[in-house]
């Protein structure tokens, strides 16, 4: 394997990053850019190749002890890798939340269950039913004129979502759907069909419990 010095300048990871951006670098090149240099007898590209293999194998479970098994890797360089991981986890990455049933949704709705006004919420999901975003669409009295499909689905489309979960609260404490709730649900379902979106559930939540359209067989197949 060629060393960094053997590569043409435009092919070196840091120069390539400057010219094309970090997204143009391979995993090995990204690790090389983080490490910067090798150690006595171990070229940085060889170290980076071994580290990239560990990352692919262990992903977010990568540990300090595993990194220290790489020839030439000391505490300082291992700390650089793990610190980069931790910064990404804190500020860039969202914990993956997969929705399989109504029980998976309820923790996302706890904040509106005791509200004194009616909150209408739309949760967008990808094709694997993993959470993309949760948004409050309206606050106030629910009716067809206030909850419009345009407001409900505009951001969902921007998310490139495959499915949605609709939800709202009942300040009265009774989670049973009213006739107006059912009419609103039918209107939003019709709009979702036109847009090619799946409605996985419509949850009504209150301080006394919840009602799931999916569990009660009220979703269109």
pLDDT tens-digit map of 113-154: 999 999 999 999 999 899 999 999 999 865 444 789 999 999
Q: Which residues of 107-133 are buried (b: 16+ CB within 10 A; e: fewer)?
A: ebbeebbebeebbbbbbbbeeebebbe
| Spatial distance between the Cα atoms of 43 and 125, rounded to a whole number of angstroms | 44
Q: Tell me how far apart the terminal alpha carbons of the chain are, to the nearest angstrom.
A: 57
Q: In what order do the strands lie in the sheet with 131-139?
A: 131-139, 119-125, 163-169, 198-206, 209-212
CATH-assigned architecture of domain 102-212: 3-Layer(aba) Sandwich (3.40)
Three-class SS of residue 124? strand
Do residues 181 and 204 make contact, with C-beta atoms less than 8 angstroms apart?
yes
pLDDT tens-digit map of 146-193: 789 999 999 999 999 999 999 999 999 999 999 999 999 999 999 999
| Spatial distance between the Cα atoms of 55 and 70, rounded to a whole number of angstroms | 12
- The pTM for the full model equals 0.60
pLDDT tens-digit map of 20-38: 888 888 899 999 999 988 8
pLDDT tens-digit map of 92-118: 766 678 898 999 999 999 999 999 999
């Amino acid at each position: 394997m060629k060393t960094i010095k053997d590569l043409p300048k435009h092919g070196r990871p840091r120069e390539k990053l400057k010219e094309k951006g970090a997204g143009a670098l391979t995993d090995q090149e990204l690790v090389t850019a983080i490490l910067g240099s090798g150690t006595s007898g171990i070229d940085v590209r060889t170290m980076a190749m071994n580290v990239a293999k560990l990352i692919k194998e262990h992903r977010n479970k990568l540990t300090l002890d595993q990194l220290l098994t790489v020839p030439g890797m000391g505490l300082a360089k291992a700390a650089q890798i793990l610190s980069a991981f931790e910064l990404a986890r804190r500020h860039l990455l969202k914990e993956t939340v997969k929705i399989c049933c109504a029980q998976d949704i309820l923790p996302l709705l706890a904040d509106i269950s005791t509200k004194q006004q009616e909150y209408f919420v739309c949760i967008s999901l990808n094709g694997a039913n993993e959470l993309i975003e949760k948004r409050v669409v309206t606050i106030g009295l629910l009716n067809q004129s206030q909850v419009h499909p345009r407001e409900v689905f505009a951001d969902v489309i921007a998310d490139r979502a495959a499915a949605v979960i609709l939800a709202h609260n009942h300040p009265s404490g009774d989670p049973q759907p009213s006739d107006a709730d059912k009419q609103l649900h039918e209107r939003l379902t019709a709009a979702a069909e036109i847009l090619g979106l799946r409605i996985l559930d419509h949850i009504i939540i209150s301080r006394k419990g919840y009602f799931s359209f999916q569990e009660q067989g009220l979703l269109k197949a």
